[in-house]
Amino acid sequence: MALELILEKHKSLQKISDSSTVPPTRLVDLTEIDLDLDHGKLRLIATQDPVQYIALSHCWGVLPDEQRSQWLTTRDNVEDRLRSGFDLEVLPRTFRDAITVTLELGQQYLWIDSLCIIQKDEDDWELEAGKMEAYFHNAYCTIAATSAKDSTQGFLERPPPSSDLWVRVPCSSGAEIFVTTFVDDFEEDVLGGLLNKRAWVLQERALSRRTIHFTDRQTYWECGGGVRCETLTYICK
C-alpha cells in the first residue's frame, strides 16, 4: 500500500537507536489476530527491550462508565490480560480499526492508553503520564482517529461522497488524465477536527515523528517534511 512505501522510503522515518528509545511499559500484542479480525486473542505484554510499535491518538468521548469498563485495563484484569490475553470482541470499534491499520502496515504491537495504562490507578497513571511524550515520539507512527467522536464510532468507514472523486480529462496527446474533485483542506479536516479539540492531542501531534490522520473526507499523512494527501497532493510545511 502507498503508506508502506512512504514509511519505508522517507528519510525522516529512520529508526531511533535502541540506546535512546524508551519502550512503553505495556503494549498490546497482535500476533494471534488475523487481518479479517474474525478470530484470535489480544495479549497485553510487559516490554523489556525496545520494539517497533504504533500508537493510537483518539477521543474517549462521553460514554457511561459501565460501557467503558468492558474494555479498560484495571487492577482487576491486568494480570489476566498479561497472562492469558483477552478477546477482541470486548474492544470498541475505534480500537478495532486501529488494529486493522496496524496489521495492514505489517506491525505487531499497538499502544492504546486505556489498554496499556492501568485505569483508576493513581500510581500507574503518575508513572505513565511522565513517559507519554517518549511513547508518541518513539512510535513507528501515530494513528490519529480524527473523525471518531468516541471510542465506539470507528474511523475507517466514511460517509459516501456526494459526487465522483475523480473526473477524466482528455489531453491533446490523446491520453487521459484524472483530476480529483476533492479539495485538500488539512486545516479544516484535521486541525479543525473533533480530535484536535483535545488538549493532549497538541502534545501527541507535536511529538509524533509521523502521523496518519483519518478524517471524514480523506486520509492525510504528516511528518517533518510536510503533509501528503490521499489525493496525492503534497502540502509543504
- Domains of the chain: which residue ranges? 23-236
pLDDT confidence tier of residue 32, bands split at 50, 70 and 90: very high
H or E element in which residue 7 lies: helix 2-9
pLDDT confidence tier of residue 17, bands split at 50, 70 and 90: very low
- In the prediction, which pLDDT does 52 show? 94
Average pLDDT over residues 104-120: 96
- Give the whole-angstrom CA distance, residue 203 versus residue 180: 33
pTM value? 0.84
- In the prediction, which pLDDT does 230 show? 78
pLDDT cut 70: percent of the chain above it: 82
pLDDT above 70 (res 6): no
pLDDT above 60 (res 16): no
Q: Which residue type occupies 215? A: T
> Is the four-CA dihedral 231, 234, 235, 237 of positive or negative sign?
positive
